[in-house]
Structures are given as structure tokens and as C-alpha cells.
Amino acid sequence: MSFQSLTGARIAFDLDGTLVDTAPDLVRALNESITPAGLAPVPVDAVRAMVGRGAKALILKAYEREGRPVPSEDETQDRLEFFLRTYSEGIAELSRPFEGVEAALDQLAGLGAELSICTNKPGWLARPLMEALDMSHRFVRITGADDTPEKKPSALHLETAIGGKADSRTVMVGDSDPDVGAARAAGAPVILFSEGYSEKPASTLGADRLFTHWRDVPGVIADVIP
């Protein structure tokens, strides 16, 4: 392993479940959205793995958990709009970076890597979240699903996030299948956080490497760069 390989490397990070534990705020907004409809609050652990599916899926899952009929499209849209408004108003109330994230990002930047965010979270939510956590200055770009013509697992999302075509010195760091898909489509290595939000075990998704703690990330990235 040589950290010299990190100089000039372009590293794109997923956000929810990779950089930041956002599930507590997402579930807070979910519960504030569904309890007026008579549903019981949903515990964080019940939906943590579903965060990547988006807000609408979380709302529908809450109805399914109680055996309630699927709400009408109008009702679903009302709950979704309430969810997004509630979430955005307290976007970093409970969300925190995973342990070791900020130190790892600073180490990578200090070694000469260029860092960006490639997230299926809408950019209009991702950027305020990073600002509220005082993390946005660490990234040259924060590219959400609404900032690119095609979101992950499309290679175009990853390439938009890094500012050009990917190569062997581009690395995607994520936690779930869309991250692997985007990296493979772009021809780039991918490493996964095994403690993230994937519905399937990270070990089954075909990543180049896994990590369980952020202190290991610089070394793991250096291992997958030629």
C-alpha cells in the first residue's frame, strides 16, 4: 500500500448511510408525516435499510407495516410534501457523520485526493445538510439526483460528480447496490461501508473492498488504485 497513489485521485462518496447517519432525521420526518393519519411511529431500525429507496417508499412501508391499504395518490403526495418540508426544516437535527468520517476526509485531502459527493438524495437537500454539518467545504462538488440527467446506478451520475470521465484512479465509496452499479458502469473501483444502509449484505454486492470503520478508508482506497 502506498499513499502516494492518492495524489490526484478522484474520490466520490455516497451520502446517506456512508458519510452521514441520516436515518434518525428521516424517521423523525416520517413519523411526523404518518402519525396524523393514525399510524404508529416507526422505529429507526425498522426502516434504516430502506432509506436509499426514497421518502415515498418509506411512507408506503409505514402503511404496509400496519396492514393498512395503500393510500391514494393524492394522500401519498400530501404525506410526501409534508415529509419533505418537515425533513428540510430540521435536516441536521439528529443526523451526524459516522465516527471517523471527518478525519478520513481530511487525511485524503491532505494526501492530494479530490473529493466529491455522488448521492441519490436530491441536491437541494444534500447541500444544506452538508452545510449544516460544516462539511461542504471538503468537497469540490455535491451532486444529487436532481443535478444530473441520470442518477446512480448510471455512470453519468458518478462522472458528473467527479467532473469528467472516470478511470482506474476514480473510486466510488458507498454502502449499497446503486454505488456498485455506478462504479462498474463507469469502469471505476468501488469500496463499501459494511455498516451502512444496504438492504442486502454489503459482502454480497461485488465491491472491490469493504470497510467497517472510517479510519481504514484511506488505506483501503490506496489498495484499489493502481
Burial class (CB in 10 A: 0-12, 13-18, 19+), 15: buried
- Catalytic entry in 14, 25, 147, 208: 14
14 noted as active-site residue: yes
CA dihedral of 37, 40, 43, 48, whole degrees rounded to 10: -40
* DSSP assignment of 134-182: T-GGG-SEEE-GGGSSS-TTSHHHHHHHHTS---TTEEEEESSHHHHHH
* Closest by CA position to 211, among listed 173, 182, 156: 173
Positions marked catalytic: 14
